[in-house]
């Protein structure tokens, strides 16, 4: 009977340790996902033209985010941003991307119209 109780306790401890390991693994996956997500966001922000980066700084300033500046540029610790601010930044990046797509589309239409109607008229 004592052996059965000891065996049950050991099994229970083993299950508890497996549960803890599973929780730790899940937390590690979440940290890895957030790290990758923030790295991607950082790369996207750095790739923006200066005027868009200035707009990002305006967003940060309205949120009272700590902005560090030195001779190498302006720095923001994005790991300390709350989810609301991250979502706002992502929405701004989506807006910029959509705007660029629309401008490229209009430019292609303009070029087509220019070639189709104005260059053919000059040849006649």
Residues 56 and 113 grouped into a single domain: yes
What does the pLDDT look like over 18-74, one tens digit per residue?
677 788 888 888 888 888 999 999 999 999 999 999 999 999 999 889 999 999 888
> What is the model's pLDDT at position 25?
83
Residues 39 and 79 grouped into a single domain: no
- Answer yes or no: are the C-beta atoms of 43 and 51 closer than 8 Å: no
What does the pLDDT look like over 19-29, one tens digit per residue?
777 888 888 88
pTM across the whole model: 0.68
3-class DSSP string for the chain: CHHHHHHHHHHHHHHHHHHHHHHHHHHHHHHHHHHHHHHHHHHHHHHCCHHHHHHHHHHHHHCCCCEEEECCEEEECHHHCCHHHHHHHHHHHHHHHHHHHHHHHHHHHHHHHHHHHHHHHHHC
Residues 54 and 101 grouped into a single domain: yes
Instruction: Count how many domains the chain has.
Output: 2
Domain range for residue 36? 1-47
- Answer yes or no: are the C-beta atoms of 88 and 59 closer than 8 Å: yes
Both structure tokens of 26: 């899940």
Residues 28 and 74 grouped into a single domain: no
Confidence of residue 107 (pLDDT cuts 50, 70, 90): very high
Residues 31 and 68 grouped into a single domain: no
Residues 40 and 56 grouped into a single domain: no
Residues 35 and 78 grouped into a single domain: no
Residues 37 and 79 grouped into a single domain: no
Residues 67 and 116 grouped into a single domain: yes
């Amino acid at each position: 009977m004592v052996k059965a109780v000891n065996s049950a306790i050991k099994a229970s401890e083993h299950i508890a340790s497996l549960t803890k390991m599973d929780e730790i693994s899940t937390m590690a996956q979440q940290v890895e996902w957030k790290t990758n997500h923030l790295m991607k966001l950082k790369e996207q922000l750095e790739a923006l033209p200066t005027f868009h980066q200035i707009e990002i700084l305006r967003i940060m300033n309205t949120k009272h985010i700590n902005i560090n500046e030195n001779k190498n540029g302006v720095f923001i610790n994005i790991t300390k941003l709350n989810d609301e601010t991250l979502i706002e930044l992502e929405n701004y990046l989506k807006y910029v991307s959509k705007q660029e797509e629309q401008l490229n589309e209009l430019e292609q239409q303009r070029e087509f119209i220019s070639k189709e109607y104005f260059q053919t008229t000059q040849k006649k």
